[in-house]
Amino acid sequence: MKCIINDRKKIVKKIKFSGKISQLLSKLGINPEVVIIKRNGAIVTELDTVNNNDELEIIKVIYGG
């Protein structure tokens, strides 16, 4: 799966994962409270699932300042 982490810098990773997005976020150490998630371009919730053929974009939206 292609995973794009849109933080201060854009990081693109290839990850092997199938399952609930919340489990993936937990694996990556990302709190769902601070991100919006897009699966194949559509906004989804952390309760949705993802598989190895998907593209997942994790957009950090809470920084402050």
Could you list the residues that contact another protein (CB under 8 A)? 6, 8, 31-36, 42-48, 59-65
C-alpha dihedral (34, 37, 50, 17), degrees to nearest 10 = -50
Cβ at position 48, least distance to another protein in Å: 5
How far apart are the C-alpha atoms of 49 and 65, rounded to whole Å?
A: 33
| Complex with another protein: residue 3 or 50, whichever CB lies closer | 50
**Cβ of residue 17: shortest distance to another protein, in angstroms?**
16
Burial (0-12, 13-18, 19+ Cβ within 10 Å), 5 = middle
Choice between 3 and 21, CB closer to another protein? 21
Q: What's the min distance (Å) between Cβ of 49 and another protein? A: 8
